[in-house]
Amino acid sequence: MSSAHKTKRQTSRTAANVFGTLGYLSVLLQWTWTLLLLCYPLLTADHSFLLPDTPTEPFHPTNDVVTSSPITAVIAIAVTVFVLVVTVIVIARLPKQIGKRGARLTHQAADTIIPIVTKHKPLPQKKRRMLSYRIVLVAKSAFTVLPIIGLIWVVAPYPLTSPVVWAIGLYCASWSIAYFIIQQAIGFFAKIDTRQLW
């Protein structure tokens, strides 16, 4: 296999996995939207666990030598820069981690379900791989459709209306489906091993 062919296949796999990661991010957004709306009445019903019941004594800042020194300002700036750098690094790595974990979750589900589907009968490697691939597709479809079904039980909070809630849920679902379809199309046309797709 030539170097150019390997590079092309690697590029295709990377592109497919980028779309897979975008699909998992979109599914995560869908679940967040649905769960937030389902839990909204619980979060707004009783604020006693969020706010203290009795007001505390007011805070009166004092002008202290330590808080007004240049060393304190330099330390505060250094800590702020450190926190910003760590935040950027975490945000940059987050999509890749979500993609890998999403893939691991779906592939583990497939590996767990295969013995149940085959009634613990041995399968040839090619059939096992095909069955695993189909189970992964079903799992991705289920992860995409379940939040939409969850919107049935959502009571739209005051500023939102039911059509808006459904529009946002369906919008996220359509992007999830589109990303997964593009991922599968790239994998099919580039002949990428299905176990390498996220």
User: How many domains does one find in the chain?
Assistant: 1
Indicate whether this model's pTM tops 0.75: no
Q: Which residue has the tokens 């990377």?
A: 14
In a domain, 132, yes or no: yes
In a domain, 82, yes or no: no
Could you tell me where the DSSP H helices lie in 46-119?
A: 70-117
Q: pLDDT tier at 74 (50, 70, 90 boundaries)?
A: confident
Q: Which residue has the tokens 């529009």?
A: 167
In a domain, 73, yes or no: no
Q: Which residue has the tokens 């379940």?
A: 146
In a domain, 25, yes or no: yes
pLDDT-wise least confident of 4-13, 63-72, 85-94: 63-72
Of 175 and 116, more confident: 175
CB 23 within 8 A of CB 140: yes
In a domain, 62, yes or no: no
Range of the domain at 181: 12-42+99-196
Q: How far apart are CA 81 and CA 53, in angstroms?
A: 37
Residue 43: its pLDDT value, please? 76
Q: Give 123-176 pLDDT, tens digit per residue.
A: 888 888 888 888 888 988 999 999 999 999 988 887 888 899 999 999 999 999
CB 30 within 8 A of CB 150: no
Q: What DSSP designation does 56 have? A: P
Which percentage of the chain shows pLDDT scores above 70?
86
